[in-house]
Amino acid sequence: MIPTNFDYFAPTTIEEALKLLDKHGDDCKVLSGGHSLIPVLKLRLAAPAVVVDIGRIKELRTIKVDGDTIRIGANTTHAEITSNADLKKHCPLLCETAAQIGDQQVRNRGTIGGSLTHADPAADWPAAILALDAEIVARSGKGERVIKASDFFVDVMTSAVEPNEIVTEIRVPKPAQPNAAVYLKVPQSASGFAIVGVAAQLKIANGKCEDVSIGVTGLAPKAFRAASVEAALRGKAIDDATVSAAAAKADAEAADAMEDIHASGDYRRHLARVYARRAVQAAAARA
Amino acid sequence: MKINLSINGQKHEADVEPRLLLVHFIRDLAGLTGTHVGCETSICGACTILMNGKAVKSCAILAVQADGAEITTIEGLATNGQLHPVQEGFWECHGLQCGYCTPGMIMSACGLLKENPNPTEDQIRHGLEGNLCRCTGYQNIVDSVKYAANKIKAQTAKAD
């Protein structure tokens, strides 16, 4: 499997990369780690005339804790996120999610910005990014725009990123209770993609749920916030009955459920409900 | 496009098409056919190599992305006719049968042991999730990696 031919540019600054995007427009694809794009090129599902490799732009490969905001450069690999000491302390949900992506080799190359932009409906990052209420920064020749995670995923393999934009940074508000979080998934056994994955971030005081956010991936054409589960938990005591009743609404926001040879739509809905319950219980137990 | 990379310590310069995959550079241009092509869909791990010390799948990387990189393939592990501890582990513990997945398994194990020299059995299995074996099964492969970890530990202790 060989990709079709293309012209290749490897700029070392964001400005240079954006100029290339403006020049080549729709004929252009952005390459970061390549673990979403290269398989697509090899299968010839895409045949861009130009590939702009942003992998050599060093300023996009950073992790910074800046006051109440964690800033992760788009080119940061899953492996770098898994093992980062600051993230382990301030937002272990990011590390736990990264560690469950694909396999060792994929984590060494794949990047958070690339994975998010690709918007695979079974990818792991969307669940965590939604549960953390993160923002994604996209830059074009005209300037910068900040997109909320809940507006970022548009449809299957479609994110809010425009063809003339590059994702530069993921901004995650520091969770109040970093440890009260979890990402659980049922992986498809060959690829490791989530058949269903649920990320939960809680804030608990005196046994009561002060706040909660839950991201669900794998179930619907785009990852989503399980708002009905969240509403059923907020302000309530975290006991088994409350959590079970809330988690039963985990597929309420999913108008359509994905179906394939690995799992039917109904089975995915069932998994979402079971994994939402387990995720909330596990996150509460860690608080 | 002209690229320069080092494979097993040897410089390779070539003018390549941007679409050339790294695995084909290694096999067809450098003539190192120990790195195998399996599924071609970045699932099976047969094409695993070390790139700047990290285990990666060379069928999912363009050769141009590896411009300037240090590559290690299975051919680069043995020194002076001495098997690398991971190779020795696969030999001693019957970690292979047909051998097709073996170079990739060994390179992934090398990547894993660099990150974590004392892996638990669970960590070994997690580290090898990106490599598929269709004949021996995984038990002896896990034993081989345990053997290698112990051997490297013993060697390091001796050197100290």
From the list A199, A255, A110, A183, the residue with the least C-alpha distance to B130 is: A110
Kindly determine whether residue B42 and residue A39, on different chains, have CB atoms separated by under 8 Å: yes
Identity at A203, one-letter amino acid code: K
Residues in chain A with pLDDT values less than 50? none
User: Does residue A3 belong to the interface with chain B, where contact is any CB pair within 8 Å?
Assistant: yes
Q: Is residue A178 within 8 Å of A91, Cβ to Cβ?
A: yes
Closest Cα in chain B to A104: B127
Q: Where in chain B is the domain with CATH 1.10.150.120?
A: 85-155
| φ, ψ of residue A219 in degrees (nearest 5) | -80, -50
Kindly determine whether residue A108 and residue B41, on different chains, have CB atoms separated by under 8 Å: no
Q: How many percent of chain A have pLDDT more than 90?
A: 97
User: What is the C-alpha to C-alpha distance for residues A89 and A95, in angstroms, rounded to an integer?
Assistant: 10
- Which tokens go with A222? 């785009």
From the list A36, A215, A12, A190, the residue with the least C-alpha distance to A111 is: A36
* Residue A19, CA distances (Å) to A33, A37, A181 in order: 20, 21, 40
Q: What is the DSSP string of A156-209?
A: TTEES--TT-EEEEEEEEPPSSTTSEEEEEEE-TTT--EEEEEEEEEEEETTEE
Task: Classify domain B85-155 at the CATH class level.
Answer: mainly alpha
* Residue A85, CA distances (Å) to A70, A142, A171, B53 in order: 13, 35, 17, 21
> Residue B113 has what pLDDT?
98
pLDDT of B136 > 80? The answer is no
A12 interaction partners in chain B (CB closer than 8 Å)? none
Kindly determine whether residue B61 and residue A38, on different chains, have CB atoms separated by under 8 Å: yes
Closest Cα in chain A to B60: A38
Strand stretches in chain B, DSSP E: 2-7, 10-15, 48-51, 54-57, 70-72
Section B72-80 average pLDDT: 97
Instruction: Name the fold adopted by B2-76.
Output: Ubiquitin-like (UB roll) (3.10.20)
Position B28 confidence tier, pLDDT thresholds 50, 70, 90 = very high
Closest Cα in chain A to B53: A108
> Residue B41 has what pLDDT?
87
> Residue A251 has what pLDDT?
98
pLDDT of B5 > 90? The answer is yes
Contacts of A33 (CB under 8 A, 6+ apart): A55, A75, A77, A109, A110, A111, A114
Q: Is residue A231 within 8 Å of A142, Cβ to Cβ?
A: no
Q: Are strands B2-7 and B10-15 parallel, antiparallel or unpaired?
A: antiparallel
Section B24-40 average pLDDT: 97
> Residue A38 has what pLDDT?
96
> Residue B106 has what pLDDT?
98
From the list B138, B53, B131, the residue with the least C-alpha distance to B90 is: B138
Residue of B19, B108, B112 with shortest CB distance to A6 = B19
B43 interaction partners in chain A (CB closer than 8 Å)? 190-191
A78: closest CA of chain B, how far (Å): 13
B43: closest CA of chain A, how far (Å): 6
User: What is the C-alpha to C-alpha distance for residues B159 and A225, in angstroms, rounded to an integer?
Assistant: 54
Kindly determine whether residue B60 and residue A10, on different chains, have CB atoms separated by under 8 Å: no
> Residue B80 has what pLDDT?
93
A54 interaction partners in chain B (CB closer than 8 Å)? none
User: What is the C-alpha to C-alpha distance for residues B27 and A36, in angstroms, rounded to an integer?
Assistant: 23
User: What is the C-alpha to C-alpha distance for residues B105 and A105, in angstroms, rounded to an integer?
Assistant: 11
Closest Cα in chain A to B62: A38
pLDDT tens sequence across A164-194 = 999 999 999 999 999 999 999 999 988 889 9
> Residue B86 has what pLDDT?
98
> Residue A25 has what pLDDT?
86
Which of B16, B65, B67 has the most A C-beta neighbours within 10 Å, making it the best mutation to test the interface with A?
B65
Position B47 confidence tier, pLDDT thresholds 50, 70, 90 = very high
B48 interaction partners in chain A (CB closer than 8 Å)? 105
> Residue A21 has what pLDDT?
97
Residue of A43, A55, A106 with shortest CB distance to B65 = A55
A7 interaction partners in chain B (CB closer than 8 Å)? 18
Higher pLDDT, B6 or A25: B6
Contacts across the A-B interface (CB distance below 8 Å): 84
User: Does residue A118 belong to the interface with chain B, where contact is any CB pair within 8 Å?
Assistant: no
User: Does residue A12 belong to the interface with chain B, where contact is any CB pair within 8 Å?
Assistant: no
- Which tokens go with B76? 């680069």
> Residue B159 has what pLDDT?
84
Domains of chain A: 7-53 (3.30.43.10), 58-173 (3.30.465.10), 181-286 (3.30.390.50)
Q: Where in chain B is the domain with CATH 3.10.20.30?
A: 2-76
pLDDT tens sequence across A71-122 = 999 999 999 999 999 999 999 999 999 999 999 999 999 999 999 999 999 9
Kindly determine whether residue B127 and residue A104, on different chains, have CB atoms separated by under 8 Å: yes
